[in-house]
Structure formats: structure tokens, C-alpha cells
């Protein structure tokens, strides 16, 4: 595996990325919360893009993977700024955004910021507004008091023995980035993929996003028994099918 390129943002954060040259639109993969660009979906999509001669970008947000910074210092707005910075610096022309979990939220923020460049969007268990509607809404009164007083709280994780540390800044800064409270126009082909067995981002989230967003070509695919990872061979094939469908819809 080649070493990633490095980009320093105007905020001084060093972002690691891999750019695969090829024909456009450029497919941009936006990973999830505490994920990095060496995950199953990111590498699968890079291999697919290389085989198809497709321009493809994957990167690590600050505090993730090979990028600089401490994860606990970050928040949704920082990671959105990171995404926009690397997209602006290393790509040109139209984009197809592919956002996984939190990356689905970041993709919606990017699409809202640079709508003229977006040719399409694919959400994989997209989790818009999760800091408010999942984390804060599900906290007990005691947990809310603890995070406000101590600045952070530890939550159990299904994916590792170490707990998730959720910071007060993550919650409070996320309130400035919500996308489901105001009109959300997705005026380009949009495909949402969602597993019915996803307990981290349940199907109700995808249905809410589908109901809230407006656009001429928005479709939701529910996959029975698929979980949040959405990384079985069948699920990975559905992702590339969705991207291909979006690309063909832009011709």
C-alpha cells in the first residue's frame, strides 16, 4: 500500500488522502465516526474505481487514521471543513459523494456547500444529525449532567473493548451543522442504502431523511438483515451498483 499524500488545511490540520486518477465525475468516499480510509468499503471502492478507470478520492478526517490531531478535539464542523478542503484542493469538476454513516451527514453538508459540483450522492446507513437525535436525545438526565459538567462521557462500543468518549464540544458544535431542521434540496440523483438489522443507525433514520429531503430522483433501498457495517460481498456490490446508477443518470 502506498503512503498517503498530505494536505494542510487553512485551519492547520494535516489531512492524509489517496487520489486515484481517472475519468470523472470523481467519486469521493466519506467515512464514518472513528473510521479511517483503510476500511473495507474504502478499499473496495478504490479497487472498483481503478478497475473502471474512475477518479476516486478517499481521506482521513483530522483525528482519524493517518491525519493529524486528536479525535477527542474534533467535531462535525471540523470534519466537514476537512472534507471540503481536500475536495477543493485535489479535485476538479463534478463529484459523486459516497457517505458512510457519519460520512452521510458530512456528504450532505458538502452538497449543501458546493451544490453546483455535485453530480450525485450515495448514502450508506447515512446518519445525519446523529449527535443531537441519537446521542443527546438518548442520554439520561444523569448522562447529560455529566457531559455538561465534565466535558465528556464514556459510552460502550460494539466495535471495540474501549468505550467511545463523547465530548461536550461534539454535541454542542453539531447543533450548528444539523441538516434535518431546514429544507434539504438534493437536486441530483441520490441513492440511500440501509440495512434493516442496523441498530446503530436504524431504518427510521433513512426513512426520515427520505421524507425530509426534496429532489427529482431520490431512492431508498432497504436490505433485509444487513447490519451497520454494510460490508458483506452482497452489500459492497449494492454500493457500486448504486454509484454506477448515479453515474449513468448523469449522462
Decide if 104 is inside a domain. yes
Catalytic residue among 101, 211, 231, 245: 101
Question: Which residue range forms the structural domain that includes residue 70?
Answer: 5-129+178-249
Highest mean pLDDT among 34-38, 79-83, 158-162: 79-83
pLDDT of residue 202: 95
Whether 159 shows a pLDDT value over 90: the answer reads no
Confidence of residue 157 (pLDDT cuts 50, 70, 90): confident
Confidence of residue 251 (pLDDT cuts 50, 70, 90): low
Confidence of residue 162 (pLDDT cuts 50, 70, 90): confident
Judge whether 82 and 65 are in contact, CB under 8 Å: no
CATH code for position 83: 3.40.50.1820
Decide if 137 is inside a domain. no
pTM: 0.95
Confidence of residue 1 (pLDDT cuts 50, 70, 90): low
pLDDT of residue 2: 84
> Catalytic: 101?
yes
> Catalytic: 228?
yes
pLDDT of residue 235: 96
Give tens-digit pLDDT for 193-219.
999 999 999 999 999 999 999 999 999
Domain count, the chain: 1
> Catalytic: 82?
no
Give tens-digit pLDDT for 140-156.
999 999 999 999 999 88
Express as a percent the part of the chain with pLDDT over 70.
98
Give tens-digit pLDDT for 37-72.
999 999 999 999 999 999 999 999 999 989 999 989
Give tens-digit pLDDT for 77-98.
999 999 999 999 999 999 999 9
* Average of per-residue pLDDT across 182-198: 97
* More confident call, 21 vs 24: 21
Q: Is the peptide bond before 25 cis (omega within 30 degrees of 0)?
A: yes
Decide if 199 is inside a domain. yes
Decide if 26 is inside a domain. yes
Catalytic residue among 60, 82, 129, 198: 198
Decide if 206 is inside a domain. yes
Decide if 150 is inside a domain. no
Amino acid at each position: 500500500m502506498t503512503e498517503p499524500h498530505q494536505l494542510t488545511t487553512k485551519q492547520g490540520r494535516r489531512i492524509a488522502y489517496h487520489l486515484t486518477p481517472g475519468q470523472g465525475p470523481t467519486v469521493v468516499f466519506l467515512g464514518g465516526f472513528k473510521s479511517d480510509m483503510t476500511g473495507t468499503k474504502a478499499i473496495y471502492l478504490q479497487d472498483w474505481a481503478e478497475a473502471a478507470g474512475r477518479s476516486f478520492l478517499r481521506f482521513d478526517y483530522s483525528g482519524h487514521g493517518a491525519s493529524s490531531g486528536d479525535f477527542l478535539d474534533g467535531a462535525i464542523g471540523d470534519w466537514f471543513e476537512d472534507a471540503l478542503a481536500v475536495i477543493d484542493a485535489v479535485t476538479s469538476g463534478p463529484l459523486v459523494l459516497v457517505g458512510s454513516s457519519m460520512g452521510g451527514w458530512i456528504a450532505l453538508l458538502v452538497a449543501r456547500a458546493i451544490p453546483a459540483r455535485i453530480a450525485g450522492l450515495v448514502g450508506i446507513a447515512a446518519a445525519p444529525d446523529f449527535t443531537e437525535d441519537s446521542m443527546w436525545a438518548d442520554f439520561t438526565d444523569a448522562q447529560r449532567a455529566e457531559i455538561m459538567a465534565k466535558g465528556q462521557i464514556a459510552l460502550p462500543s460494539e466495535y471495540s473493548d474501549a468505550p467511545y468518549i463523547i465530548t461536550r464540544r461534539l454535541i454542542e458544535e453539531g447543533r450548528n451543522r444539523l441538516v434535518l431542521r431546514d429544507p434539504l434540496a438534493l437536486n441530483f440523483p441520490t441513492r440511500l442504502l440501509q440495512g434493516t438489522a442496523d441498530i446503530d443507525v436504524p431504518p427510521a433514520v433513512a426513512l426520515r431523511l427520505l421524507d425530509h429531503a426534496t429532489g427529482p430522483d431520490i431512492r431508498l433501498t432497504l436490505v433485509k438483515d444487513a447490519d451497520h457495517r454494510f460490508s458483506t460481498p452482497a452489500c459492497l456490490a449494492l454500493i457500486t451498483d448504486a454509484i454506477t446508477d448515479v453515474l449513468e443518470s448523469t449522462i
